[in-house]
């Protein structure tokens, strides 16, 4: 038996050139008339739920009666599992209906209460009753149905890191197995933003639902954990799965403070450190300044300003500055007061002798 021509269906004939018309149809395919089916290459389903297979096809437009058939495992040697309105073999026990209009070349099909054993690869076939015997087209494009008991986690995506004060969004999406039983998508926190829901019903792509959360970025939201949960209604229960991510907000230094590692009097010779802290993304670089009567002096370029042995001459007012690519911020002043050393004084006792005198 000859292999199918590229972009053409397998043409089944009950007899070899019994009628001229089927031969002309096959010849028209080889001369450029394209017979083609469009459907997702893979689609997911939940046990007990319904499943809709998006499907369209092209074929010569004639006023004829069309019968839709689904077959399993192979477009040519496979076993028919559905024909016209009857479920067969692997699909027996399922409620199956072609909900598309075959006259409009729409073969979209719905399966109700799908089971694990219905997993497999399926192909669409047409019988056209324009003449007798009918002309039969077996399309080579197939869809792999993947059946699971539990849903997969939704796809949660964020844009590139956004600056504080700018508008940004998160998108959460999940497969739409059954349009009459759509899943719900819920956010753990809407961040004082807005939520927009969308249903995607393409033919070539798998159908899906998505939720877009739009909000204004703030440094308070940096490293905040956000979760999106998808819930599918299946008979009397809901089956859920969740996905989380951590927000990444870019912002200039904020809450910059300077502090001493001492809480009581600092004496000459003590080890002392002045510490600068700031919240920033990207991380800040630090500088230390001392304020004197004559000028403001740059005295350090690390997060800590360390004195191994401090002296009274180091006394004075200090502040730090935190800076990144988005801006800078100065801390308030911290006063370093170094007490001088106590010098011991030798005191020689003097003995006083009282001499009596006579008046």
Closest CA to 15 of 152, 136, 146: 136
- Whether residue 131 has pLDDT greater than 80: no
Burial grade of 28 (CB within 10 A; 0-12, 13-18, 19 or more): middle
- The pTM score is 0.74
- Kindly report the backbone phi and psi dihedral angles of residue 196, in degrees, each rounded to the nearest multiple of 5, phi listed first: -125, 125
CB 95: neighbour CB atoms within 10 A?
A: 12
- Kindly report the backbone phi and psi dihedral angles of residue 140, in degrees, each rounded to the nearest multiple of 5, phi listed first: -85, -15
For residue range 254-300, list pLDDT tens digits in order.
999 999 987 678 999 999 999 999 999 999 999 999 999 889 999 99
Cα separation values, 256 from 51, 144, 153, Å? 57, 58, 40
Question: Could you give the maximum distance between any two Cα atoms of the chain, in Å?
Answer: 170
Peptide bond before residue 282 is cis, with ω within 30 degrees of 0: yes
Query: What's the pLDDT band for 77 if we cut at 50, 70, 90?
Result: confident
- Domains annotated for the chain, with CATH where assigned, are 10-148 (2.60.40.10), 155-247 (2.60.40.10), 252-339 (2.60.40.10)
CA 339 to chain centre: 59
CA distance 277 to 320: 9
Say if residues 84 and 68 touch (Cβ distance below 8 Å).
yes
For residue 26, give the DSSP letter: H
For residue range 306-358, list pLDDT tens digits in order.
999 999 999 999 999 999 999 999 999 999 999 876 555 454 554 444 445 55
CA 137 to chain centre: 41
Query: What's the pLDDT band for 206 if we cut at 50, 70, 90?
Result: low
Closest CA to 79 of 141, 36, 125, 35: 125
CA distance 178 to 47: 12
């Amino acid at each position: 038996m000859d292999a199918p021509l590229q972009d053409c269906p397998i043409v089944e004939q009950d007899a070899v050139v019994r009628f001229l018309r089927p031969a002309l149809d096959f010849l028209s395919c080889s001369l450029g008339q394209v017979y083609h089916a469009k459907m997702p290459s893979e689609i997911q389903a939940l046990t007990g739920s319904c499943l809709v297979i998006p499907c369209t096809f092209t074929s010569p437009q004639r006023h004829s009666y069309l019968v839709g058939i689904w077959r399993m495992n192979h477009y040519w040697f496979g076993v028919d599992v559905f024909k016209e309105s009857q479920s067969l073999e692997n699909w027996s026990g399922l409620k199956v209906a072609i909900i598309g209009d075959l006259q409009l070349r729409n073969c979209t099909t719905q399966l109700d209460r799908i089971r694990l054993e219905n997993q497999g690869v399926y192909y669409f076939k047409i019988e056209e009753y324009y003449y007798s015997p009918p002309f039969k087209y077996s399309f080579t494009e197939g869809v792999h149905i993947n059946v699971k008991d539990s849903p997969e986690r939704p796809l949660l995506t964020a844009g590139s890191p956004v600056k504080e004060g700018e508008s940004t969004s998160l998108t959460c999406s999940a497969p739409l197995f059954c349009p009459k039983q759509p899943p719900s998508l819920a956010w753990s926190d809407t961040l004082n933003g807005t939520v927009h829901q969308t249903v995607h019903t393409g033919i070539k792509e798998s159908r899906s639902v998505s939720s877009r959360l739009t909000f204004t970025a703030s440094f308070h939201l940096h490293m905040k954990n956000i979760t999106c949960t998808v819930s599918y209604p299946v008979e009397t229960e809901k089956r859920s799965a969740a996905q989380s991510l951590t927000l990444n907000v870019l912002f200039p230094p904020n809450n910059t403070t300077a502090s001493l590692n001492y809480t009581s009097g600092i004496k000459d010779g003590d080890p002392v450190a002045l510490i600068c802290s700031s919240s920033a993304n990207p991380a800040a670089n630090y500088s230390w300044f001392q304020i004197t009567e004559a000028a403001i002096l740059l005295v350090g370029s690390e997060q800590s300003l360390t004195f191994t042995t401090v002296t009274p001459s180091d006394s004075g007012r200090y502040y730090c500055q935190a800076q990144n690519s988005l801006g800078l911020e100065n801390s308030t002043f911290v006063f370093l007061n170094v007490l001088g050393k106590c010098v011991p004084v030798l005191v020689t006792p003097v003995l006083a002798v009282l001499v009596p005198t006579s008046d």
